[in-house]
Structure 1
């Protein structure tokens, strides 16, 4: 019980961090442009007024000064770390460093590569810090059909013995596959604030506000691109949707591939295959519905936002897919080594008995 309470406290802390981060003010105005007082710059720059929002600036004095200025450009001063901390710990500890990293990397290439390299570095750092937990989480996703089969086996059986047997089978599945269910909480605890920080940093980094990728302005919206038939942003927006689906489906696809290989090796009966497919169908439909709803929500939000956000989500989805493949490979290699060791130990024990 003490172990469960400890994990429960970690979950509550994770939810608290999520709610705290969610309370951050929206850096974009109703027109989808970044508010000029929310931009994070690493050096003094001048940005065209058409690229930023000055109507919804929080500071009345600054707002009046910007509106009364007849110039077509607005000057952005470098954003200090202390001023970022003045807006809260989330800005100072997470958003400001990520935004400045994007700005620095973009200064050597362009804004698009700044987003790509920053996202890659952050994802690699998270992967290193949560390596074992991510492997466990990956296996949990791949074994969802097996978990659903156990739940269906005891569906409608509410007696104490049935609940105990279901818990034992589930625990055995976890043990056999080296899964630690509460390990995913650590991944969530680290990933959520960083992912939200990356989200805000992409909106607020100066280089993504006025920058470009391969000559394509990242301030353009997919909605505007569809109206003008500008194929660059349209392709990025479409690829974002496709990669979002792929990144969510990939663990399930790899799990199915492993299952087919196992069935081919074990030569299971047709009846058993049919039974397992029907049992896993309901859960698969639920997961697909959740995936499509999530993708539809992201697509709806991002269609009126600058293409920088679609580009960031595309890069993140591609990196998550690569991480899933890597985790799957490592997990399978580890499982094969454990099976080989178990077979070797069994062989030694058998020889001793002889």
Structure 2
């Protein structure tokens, strides 16, 4: 057993059992035990379980990103305060003040990476499980979790669109159409990287306030926007078809999940929030609470001048129509 297999064995054990359980489920529903699509659906089931499990982390990620955007003006003031100061004492003081600011607002620049960091061991474990299937099938390795030797033989011979699930762009396998394997895996790699790029770009263009967009940290975010798809695109040539299917479904989940969040719970001050307010206005609904503090403030000042408003910090009691008429008569006299 290799180094990665030893470190990731507990997660590989869980991944193998989830795959085996979904395979048994679809087999019970009448699908072929050795069919490629049975194993594809098992991988889809695994993806759904994993993504559902990290939903709490995704919610925490969204909240952290919003808090980070809300404190951007304070971060910018802090950067201006230490601008041009390159001595060690000033740098350390700036870092300490930034950390205190993050602690005060309960956020961190690294919180947005939590869902990806949690998924990476699962992704690597699935990669190792699929890569080790031929060795388990041939008896060179012991079974992992629910991935018995019989199931390993079944998965090793599973074919989808003429391609084994264990085939990759660089290692198509024996007895297959090498050109077709590389064409299909290349298409999946491009789609996978493209979905990742569009998801990040949608978040940056729709769900970030102007303060966040003008922040120097955005240059790093823009670099990541192009760097991450390239990294996964290049790494994709090593991924077996089964892993590509997992990552493709996972990216699709992320894209759909983020679209729903941005549309219905946008970041304050973002383009998505303005679009949501326009939709609510067209439907005759009231604006979002706290969505336009300037407008609310002006409305509040107007209310204080009315009879039903506040006077001297105390709220006046409502006046009946009959009593209002009596007051008007007294004023005329």
How would you bin the TM-score normalised by the shorter chain? 0.5 to 0.7
Point out where structure 1 has 5 or more consecutive residues left out of the alignment.
Answer: 1-20, 27-86, 264-271
* CA distance, structure 1, for counterparts of residue 184 and residue 190 of structure 2: 10
Give the corresponding residue for 1:251.
200
| SS at structure 2 position matched to 1:291 | helix
**Larger RCO (alpha carbons 8 Å, 6+ apart):** 1
The answer to whether the aligner puts 1:101 opposite 2:21 as a matched pair is yes
Q: Is the 8 A contact 1:111 1:213 kept in 2?
A: no
What displacement does 1:24 show? 1.9
| SS at structure 2 position matched to 1:130 | helix
Q: 1:308 aligns with which of 239, 242, 246?
A: 242
Give the corresponding residue for 2:290.
339
**TM-score, normalised with respect to structure 1:** 0.52
Give the corresponding residue for 2:329.
none
* CA distance, structure 2, for counterparts of residue 144 and residue 106 of structure 1: 49
Q: How many residues align?
A: 254
Q: Is the 8 A contact 2:193 2:229 kept in 1?
A: no
| SS at structure 2 position matched to 1:283 | helix
What displacement does 1:120 show? 2.2
Give the corresponding residue for 1:220.
167
Residues 147-156 or 232-241, more deviating: 147-156
Counterparts in 2 of 1:213 and 1:229: CA distance versus 1, 3 Å: closer
What displacement does 1:119 show? 1.0
| SS at structure 1 position matched to 2:85 | coil
Give the corresponding residue for 1:322.
256
* CA distance, structure 1, for counterparts of residue 78 and residue 160 of structure 2: 49
Give the corresponding residue for 1:156.
84
What displacement does 1:115 show? 1.4
Q: Within 5 A, what are the aligned runs for 1:206-245?
A: 206=152, 207-223=154-170, 228=177, 230-231=179-180, 234-245=183-194
Counterparts in 2 of 1:239 and 1:190: CA distance versus 1, 3 Å: closer
**Per-residue CA distance 1:92-134 (angstroms, 9 max, x = gap):** 4x2332231343355335222221232123212321x334213
Point out where structure 2 has 5 or more consecutive residues left out of the alignment.
Answer: 32-36, 134-146, 274-287, 312-333
Spell out structure 1 runs of 4+ moving beyond 6 A: 140-152
**Per-residue CA distance 1:193-244 (angstroms, 9 max, x = gap):** 4334433344445354221234543233324669946436523432223322
Counterparts in 2 of 1:161 and 1:246: CA distance versus 1, 3 Å: same
* CA distance, structure 2, for counterparts of residue 115 and residue 338 of structure 1: 42
Q: Is the 8 A contact 2:22 2:42 kept in 1?
A: yes
Q: Which has the larger radius of gyration?
A: 2
Counterparts in 2 of 1:110 and 1:313: CA distance versus 1, 3 Å: same
**Per-residue CA distance 1:163-193 (angstroms, 9 max, x = gap):** 3897399659x95xx9565755764674344
The answer to whether the aligner puts 1:113 opposite 2:41 as a matched pair is yes
* RMSD (Å), alpha carbons: 5.0
Counterparts in 2 of 1:334 and 1:198: CA distance versus 1, 3 Å: farther
* CA distance, structure 2, for counterparts of residue 348 and residue 133 of structure 1: 34
